[in-house]
Structure 1
Amino acid sequence: MTSDGPETEFGLRYRASLHRAHDWLRTELDQLRALAAQVGAGEVGVREARATINALAVTGHRWDLGAFCEAYCGVLARHHVREDVEMFPAVLGVQPDLGPVVDRLDAEHRAVAAVARRLDDVLVRLSRSAPDGTRSLVAELIGIVDELTVLLRAHLAHEEEALHDALGRLPAPI
């Protein structure tokens, strides 16, 4: 779906900013996924995992997998709320026929949020588990991180592609 209208300087900057934010979300998610898999495979110990997480941009001083996931999921949730409240209405103002696309993207935001809640839940259970119950919870954690990866990557790609033209035509300010 495209609509006539010139691209704006603001729209081009906004679209580039959205792509940078999405790229950052992908990079941090890839690091989380790799680290969870390494912990699950016994390739990385707790101290090594903590050192790796400490180096990730989203956590800064935080040192554990739970804190990383909590911070990442919080950033992701705020990103989606901003899109819902600011970007989607602005896009519809530029290109009203994108209503069904925006509805789908909104539904994808809710699906991502549901998986993030499950991730938080397994992390809480993992933090409270006895050592003999840790293995199955780590496997559950890895499964949820994999599910989040597939869902979020598909959502980000869909959003970038479906809104590309309309974002480039956004008037300032939104």
Structure 2
Amino acid sequence: MTGGETTRLIAWGEELRSVHARLRNALSVVRDAVAAGEPAEAAGRDLLLFCHGFCTALTGHHEGEDRELFPAIAAAHPELRETLTQLEQDHAMIAHLIGGLEQAVASAATPAELGRHVEGIAAIMESHFRFEERRLVAVLQTLALDAEPERVLGPL
């Protein structure tokens, strides 16, 4: 194995952490927009834009994991199938919560209601990311997966 191949293998764990960090930052922007609570039309448009960007990025990340990453991990590490099932269940729950947030934003919900949606997503997302990192980063250090990072981990 050449040094470049080793770097690519190790990079999957770093890519996962990097994507999680960007999603956490995007969530922070959404939280700030909700906390501003400005009823003005411009603030509503900003919130819609921030929520759409965050929701699209998080959904794309989870779809990439479900489609590309988790099957590769399951093939190389069948002992992790239960962990992967738990992570996929989290993805479904987060998708449901994102749908609720998108509906709330589209219906011009109150800042308090939007805040409840955002905090619900934040709590599950953070728990999910920490569990995923604890259980998968070490595996990703040795996973041989020849794919584009955007396809595996969502839009970067």
What TM-score, normalized by structure 1, do the two folds share? 0.75
Aligned residues with identical type, % of pairs? 28
Equivalent pair of 1:15/1:164 in contact (CA under 8 Å): yes
Q: 1:77 maps to which residue?
A: 59
Asked if structure 2 preserves the Cα contact closer than 8 Å seen for 1:8 and 1:171, the reply is: no
- Whole-angstrom distance in 1 between the partners of 2:24 and 2:53: 14
TM normalised by structure 2 equals 0.83
Supply the distance in 2 between the matched residues of 1:171 and 1:8 (Cα, whole angstroms).
9
The residue number in structure 2 matching 1:152 is: 125
Aligned residues: 143
Match of 1:114 among 96, 103, 111: 96
CA RMSD after TM alignment: 2.0
Q: Could you tell me which residue of structure 2 aligns to residue 100 of structure 1?
A: 82
Give 1:88's aligned amino acid.
Answer: F
Q: Which residue does 2:151 correspond to in 1?
A: none
Deviation, structure 1 residue 49: 4.5
Once residues 79 and 86 of structure 1 are traced to their aligned partners in structure 2, the CA distance between those partners, rounded to angstroms, is 11
Secondary structure, counterpart of 1:64 in structure 2: helix
| One-letter amino acid of the structure 2 residue matched with residue 13 of structure 1 | A
Can you give the 5+ residue segments of structure 1 that lack an aligned partner in the other structure?
1-6, 51-62, 127-133
- Which structure 2 residues correspond to residues 80-91 of structure 1 after superposition, within 5 A? 80-91=62-73
